[in-house]
Protein backbone atom coordinates (compact mmCIF):
# COMPACT_ATOMS: atom_id res chain seq x y z
CA UNK A 1 0.00 0.00 0.00
CA UNK A 2 1.36 3.42 -0.92
CA UNK A 3 1.51 5.90 1.93
CA UNK A 4 2.63 9.48 1.41
CA UNK A 5 2.71 12.21 4.05
CA UNK A 6 4.03 15.01 1.83
CA UNK A 7 0.95 16.81 0.56
CA UNK A 8 2.62 18.22 -2.55
CA UNK A 9 3.86 14.80 -3.73
CA UNK A 10 0.82 12.74 -2.83
CA UNK A 11 -0.85 12.42 -6.19
CA UNK A 12 -0.42 9.35 -8.35
CA UNK A 13 1.22 9.79 -11.78
CA UNK A 14 -0.83 12.35 -13.66
CA UNK A 15 -3.32 11.28 -16.28
CA UNK A 16 -2.77 12.33 -19.86
CA UNK A 17 -3.42 16.01 -20.48
CA UNK A 18 -6.97 16.77 -21.42
CA UNK A 19 -8.30 13.37 -20.33
CA UNK A 20 -12.01 13.15 -19.65
CA UNK A 21 -14.53 10.65 -18.41
CA UNK A 22 -15.64 8.62 -21.41
CA UNK A 23 -19.12 9.46 -22.65
CA UNK A 24 -21.15 6.55 -23.93
CA UNK A 25 -24.66 5.20 -23.64
CA UNK A 26 -27.78 6.57 -22.02
CA UNK A 27 -26.52 6.28 -18.43
CA UNK A 28 -23.80 8.95 -18.84
CA UNK A 29 -25.06 12.27 -17.54
CA UNK A 30 -23.75 15.76 -18.21
CA UNK A 31 -20.05 14.98 -18.24
CA UNK A 32 -17.90 16.79 -17.16
CA UNK A 33 -19.14 16.79 -13.61
CA UNK A 34 -20.08 20.12 -12.11
CA UNK A 35 -20.85 19.41 -8.50
CA UNK A 36 -19.85 22.77 -7.06
CA UNK A 37 -21.16 25.06 -9.77
CA UNK A 38 -23.48 27.06 -7.55
CA UNK A 39 -23.05 30.74 -8.44
CA UNK A 40 -21.19 32.72 -5.78
CA UNK A 41 -24.35 34.59 -4.84
CA UNK A 42 -26.21 31.33 -4.03
CA UNK A 43 -25.24 31.59 -0.39
CA UNK A 44 -28.36 29.94 1.04
CA UNK A 45 -27.78 26.74 -0.93
CA UNK A 46 -24.04 26.68 -0.17
CA UNK A 47 -24.57 27.26 3.54
CA UNK A 48 -27.26 24.61 3.76
CA UNK A 49 -25.04 21.92 2.19
CA UNK A 50 -21.90 23.04 4.01
CA UNK A 51 -23.68 23.16 7.37
CA UNK A 52 -24.72 19.53 7.05
CA UNK A 53 -21.14 18.54 6.20
CA UNK A 54 -19.63 20.58 9.03
CA UNK A 55 -21.98 18.98 11.54
CA UNK A 56 -20.11 15.72 10.91
CA UNK A 57 -16.52 16.93 11.11
CA UNK A 58 -16.70 16.01 14.79
CA UNK A 59 -17.50 12.42 13.75
CA UNK A 60 -14.00 11.96 12.31
CA UNK A 61 -12.14 9.25 14.21
CA UNK A 62 -8.82 9.13 12.34
CA UNK A 63 -6.57 9.88 15.28
CA UNK A 64 -3.41 12.01 15.04
CA UNK A 65 -1.96 13.29 11.79
CA UNK A 66 -2.78 15.98 9.28
CA UNK A 67 -6.45 16.34 8.49
CA UNK A 68 -6.94 16.53 4.75
CA UNK A 69 -10.19 17.51 3.05
CA UNK A 70 -11.17 16.44 -0.48
CA UNK A 71 -14.12 17.97 -2.33
CA UNK A 72 -15.08 15.77 -5.27
CA UNK A 73 -16.72 17.78 -8.04
CA UNK A 74 -15.70 21.06 -6.44
CA UNK A 75 -16.64 23.24 -9.42
CA UNK A 76 -15.84 26.87 -8.61
CA UNK A 77 -15.06 26.00 -4.99
CA UNK A 78 -17.83 28.15 -3.58
CA UNK A 79 -19.11 25.42 -1.26
CA UNK A 80 -15.64 23.94 -0.70
CA UNK A 81 -14.46 27.12 0.99
CA UNK A 82 -17.32 27.04 3.48
CA UNK A 83 -16.25 23.56 4.63
CA UNK A 84 -12.47 23.92 4.43
CA UNK A 85 -11.81 26.31 7.31
CA UNK A 86 -10.51 23.87 9.92
CA UNK A 87 -8.50 21.51 7.70
CA UNK A 88 -4.72 21.42 7.32
CA UNK A 89 -4.86 20.65 3.61
CA UNK A 90 -7.65 21.10 1.06
CA UNK A 91 -8.01 19.51 -2.38
CA UNK A 92 -10.74 20.26 -4.90
CA UNK A 93 -11.14 18.11 -7.99
CA UNK A 94 -13.40 18.44 -11.00
CA UNK A 95 -13.35 17.92 -14.76
CA UNK A 96 -14.66 21.30 -15.84
CA UNK A 97 -11.74 23.59 -16.56
CA UNK A 98 -13.56 26.90 -16.57
CA UNK A 99 -14.95 26.28 -13.08
CA UNK A 100 -11.55 25.15 -11.84
CA UNK A 101 -9.91 28.33 -13.13
CA UNK A 102 -12.50 30.33 -11.20
CA UNK A 103 -11.64 28.35 -8.06
CA UNK A 104 -7.88 28.77 -8.58
CA UNK A 105 -8.25 32.53 -9.02
CA UNK A 106 -10.32 32.78 -5.86
CA UNK A 107 -7.96 30.59 -3.77
CA UNK A 108 -4.59 31.73 -5.14
CA UNK A 109 -3.54 33.22 -1.79
CA UNK A 110 -4.39 30.07 0.15
CA UNK A 111 -1.26 27.86 0.25
CA UNK A 112 -3.08 24.90 1.81
CA UNK A 113 -5.36 24.57 -1.26
CA UNK A 114 -4.82 22.45 -4.37
CA UNK A 115 -7.29 22.65 -7.26
CA UNK A 116 -6.90 19.80 -9.74
CA UNK A 117 -8.46 18.56 -12.95
CA UNK A 118 -9.24 14.99 -11.92
CA UNK A 119 -12.06 12.49 -12.37
CA UNK A 120 -14.17 11.17 -9.51
CA UNK A 121 -13.61 7.72 -11.00
CA UNK A 122 -9.82 8.06 -10.80
CA UNK A 123 -8.79 9.96 -7.69
CA UNK A 124 -5.01 10.23 -8.05
CA UNK A 125 -4.15 10.06 -4.36
CA UNK A 126 -3.02 7.11 -2.21
CA UNK A 127 -5.31 4.83 -0.24
CA UNK A 128 -6.55 6.11 3.12
CA UNK A 129 -5.35 9.68 2.51
CA UNK A 130 -8.22 12.06 3.36
CA UNK A 131 -9.98 12.33 6.70
CA UNK A 132 -12.98 14.19 5.21
CA UNK A 133 -14.50 13.90 1.73
CA UNK A 134 -17.51 15.67 0.27
CA UNK A 135 -19.39 15.38 -3.02
CA UNK A 136 -22.14 17.97 -3.39
CA UNK A 137 -24.57 17.29 -6.25
CA UNK A 138 -22.01 15.18 -8.10
CA UNK A 139 -22.95 11.50 -8.11
CA UNK A 140 -26.02 12.10 -10.25
CA UNK A 141 -23.69 13.22 -13.07
CA UNK A 142 -20.70 10.87 -13.04
CA UNK A 143 -20.23 8.44 -15.89
CA UNK A 144 -19.23 5.49 -13.69
CA UNK A 145 -21.12 5.61 -10.40
CA UNK A 146 -19.70 2.38 -8.98
CA UNK A 147 -16.10 3.30 -9.74
CA UNK A 148 -16.58 6.80 -8.34
CA UNK A 149 -17.93 5.35 -5.09
CA UNK A 150 -15.01 2.89 -4.99
CA UNK A 151 -12.51 5.71 -5.38
CA UNK A 152 -14.07 7.95 -2.75
CA UNK A 153 -14.08 5.14 -0.19
CA UNK A 154 -10.55 4.04 -1.12
CA UNK A 155 -9.16 7.56 -0.61
CA UNK A 156 -10.92 7.99 2.75
CA UNK A 157 -8.96 7.14 5.90
CA UNK A 158 -10.40 4.55 8.31
CA UNK A 159 -12.44 6.60 10.74
CA UNK A 160 -12.80 9.35 8.13
CA UNK A 161 -16.13 10.85 7.11
CA UNK A 162 -17.82 11.13 3.73
CA UNK A 163 -20.66 13.64 3.24
CA UNK A 164 -22.65 13.72 0.00
CA UNK A 165 -25.71 15.40 -1.44
CA UNK A 166 -27.74 14.08 -4.37
CA UNK A 167 -31.15 14.67 -5.97
CA UNK A 168 -33.64 12.38 -4.28
CA UNK A 169 -36.32 10.39 -6.00
CA UNK A 170 -39.38 11.56 -4.03
CA UNK A 171 -39.03 15.20 -4.99
CA UNK A 172 -41.73 15.54 -7.65
CA UNK A 173 -39.80 17.53 -10.26
CA UNK A 174 -36.86 16.51 -12.45
CA UNK A 175 -34.64 19.60 -12.39
CA UNK A 176 -31.90 18.69 -14.86
CA UNK A 177 -34.00 18.08 -17.96
CA UNK A 178 -34.27 15.20 -20.41
CA UNK A 179 -32.65 13.80 -23.53
CA UNK A 180 -34.98 12.82 -26.38
CA UNK A 181 -33.04 11.25 -29.22
CA UNK A 182 -30.02 13.49 -29.80
CA UNK A 183 -31.61 16.59 -28.31
CA UNK A 184 -31.32 17.74 -24.70
CA UNK A 185 -34.08 19.81 -23.13
CA UNK A 186 -32.77 21.54 -20.02
CA UNK A 187 -36.04 22.30 -18.34
CA UNK A 188 -38.00 21.07 -15.36
CA UNK A 189 -40.21 18.00 -15.85
CA UNK A 190 -42.95 17.43 -13.23
CA UNK A 191 -43.47 13.90 -11.85
CA UNK A 192 -40.76 12.25 -13.98
CA UNK A 193 -38.79 11.04 -10.89
CA UNK A 194 -41.84 8.97 -9.90
CA UNK A 195 -41.69 6.94 -13.12
CA UNK A 196 -38.31 5.30 -12.67
CA UNK A 197 -38.06 3.40 -16.00
CA UNK A 198 -38.76 6.60 -17.94
CA UNK A 199 -36.49 8.62 -15.69
CA UNK A 200 -33.58 6.23 -16.19
CA UNK A 201 -34.09 6.32 -19.95
CA UNK A 202 -34.59 10.03 -20.55
CA UNK A 203 -33.35 12.13 -17.61
CA UNK A 204 -30.05 14.00 -17.83
CA UNK A 205 -29.12 13.08 -14.25
CA UNK A 206 -29.80 10.32 -11.76
CA UNK A 207 -32.01 10.51 -8.71
CA UNK A 208 -31.49 8.35 -5.62
CA UNK A 209 -33.57 6.83 -2.87
CA UNK A 210 -32.20 6.68 0.66
CA UNK A 211 -31.86 2.90 0.34
CA UNK A 212 -29.94 3.20 -2.92
CA UNK A 213 -27.45 5.59 -1.37
CA UNK A 214 -26.96 3.39 1.68
CA UNK A 215 -26.51 0.31 -0.49
CA UNK A 216 -23.88 2.14 -2.52
CA UNK A 217 -21.71 3.02 0.48
CA UNK A 218 -22.52 0.50 3.22
CA UNK A 219 -21.51 -2.30 0.86
CA UNK A 220 -18.09 -0.63 0.64
CA UNK A 221 -17.39 -0.62 4.36
CA UNK A 222 -18.94 2.71 5.33
CA UNK A 223 -21.13 3.20 8.41
CA UNK A 224 -24.24 5.36 8.18
CA UNK A 225 -24.17 8.47 10.38
CA UNK A 226 -27.07 10.65 9.26
CA UNK A 227 -29.62 11.48 6.57
CA UNK A 228 -30.96 14.94 5.89
CA UNK A 229 -32.92 16.82 3.25
CA UNK A 230 -32.46 20.27 1.72
CA UNK A 231 -35.44 22.16 0.38
CA UNK A 232 -35.28 24.35 -2.75
CA UNK A 233 -33.91 27.86 -2.25
CA UNK A 234 -34.92 29.25 -5.68
CA UNK A 235 -31.60 31.12 -5.93
CA UNK A 236 -30.76 30.53 -9.58
CA UNK A 237 -34.05 30.95 -11.39
CA UNK A 238 -35.48 33.04 -8.58
CA UNK A 239 -32.78 35.66 -9.19
CA UNK A 240 -34.60 36.48 -12.42
CA UNK A 241 -37.61 38.51 -11.40
CA UNK A 242 -39.41 37.49 -14.58
CA UNK A 243 -39.14 33.74 -13.95
CA UNK A 244 -42.12 31.84 -12.57
CA UNK A 245 -39.90 30.48 -9.78
CA UNK A 246 -39.27 33.96 -8.44
CA UNK A 247 -42.91 33.92 -7.34
CA UNK A 248 -42.21 30.95 -5.06
CA UNK A 249 -39.49 32.49 -2.90
CA UNK A 250 -42.08 33.20 -0.20
CA UNK A 251 -42.30 29.40 0.33
CA UNK A 252 -38.73 29.11 1.65
CA UNK A 253 -39.65 29.28 5.33
CA UNK A 254 -42.48 26.76 4.94
CA UNK A 255 -40.26 24.32 3.03
CA UNK A 256 -37.50 24.61 5.60
CA UNK A 257 -39.93 23.65 8.35
CA UNK A 258 -40.89 20.62 6.27
CA UNK A 259 -37.26 19.45 6.35
CA UNK A 260 -37.81 18.25 9.92
CA UNK A 261 -41.10 16.41 9.30
CA UNK A 262 -40.44 12.76 8.33
CA UNK A 263 -42.98 12.36 5.52
CA UNK A 264 -42.89 15.90 4.16
CA UNK A 265 -39.12 16.25 4.12
CA UNK A 266 -38.85 13.64 1.36
CA UNK A 267 -41.49 15.32 -0.76
CA UNK A 268 -40.11 18.84 -0.32
CA UNK A 269 -36.39 18.07 -0.21
CA UNK A 270 -34.87 18.63 -3.62
CA UNK A 271 -31.61 17.13 -2.30
CA UNK A 272 -30.87 14.29 0.08
CA UNK A 273 -27.80 14.59 2.31
CA UNK A 274 -25.93 11.60 3.67
CA UNK A 275 -23.00 11.23 6.05
CA UNK A 276 -20.95 8.04 6.45
CA UNK A 277 -17.82 7.03 8.36
CA UNK A 278 -15.31 4.52 7.08
CA UNK A 279 -15.01 1.49 9.31
CA UNK A 280 -11.63 0.48 10.76
DSSP string, 231-277: -----SGGGSTTSGGGGGGGGHHHHHHHTTSHHHHHHH-SEEEEEEE
pLDDT given for residue 77 in this prediction: 94
Q: What is the pLDDT of residues 215-254, one digit of tens each?
A: 999 999 999 999 999 988 776 655 566 665 666 676 778 8
Residue 257 falls inside a structural domain: no
Residue 20 falls inside a structural domain: no
166/270 Cα distance (integer angstroms)? 8
pLDDT given for residue 4 in this prediction: 39
Q: Which of 108, 110, 118, 92 is nearest to 37 (CA)?
A: 92
| pLDDT interval class at 261 (50, 70, 90) | confident
Average pLDDT, the chain: 84
Domain extent, residue 52, equals 25-171+207-233+262-278
Residue 67 falls inside a structural domain: yes
Residue 140 falls inside a structural domain: yes
Q: What is the pLDDT of residues 108-133, one digit of tens each?
A: 999 999 999 999 999 999 999 999 99
Residue 116 falls inside a structural domain: yes
Mean pLDDT of the region 161-172: 96
Residue 182 falls inside a structural domain: no
Q: Which of 129, 134, 124, 10 is nearest to 72 (CA)?
A: 134
Residue 94 falls inside a structural domain: yes
Residue 9 falls inside a structural domain: no
Q: Which CATH number does the domain housing residue 222 bear?
A: 3.40.50.150
For the chain, the domain total comes to 1
Amino acid sequence: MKTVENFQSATKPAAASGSRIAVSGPQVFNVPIAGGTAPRNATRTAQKLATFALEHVSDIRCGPGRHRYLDVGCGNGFITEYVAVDFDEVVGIDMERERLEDFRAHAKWKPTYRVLEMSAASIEFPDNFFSFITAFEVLEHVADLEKSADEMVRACRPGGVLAVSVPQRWFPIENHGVRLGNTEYERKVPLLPYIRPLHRKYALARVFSSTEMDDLFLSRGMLHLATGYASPQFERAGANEHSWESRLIFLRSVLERCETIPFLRALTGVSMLKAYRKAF
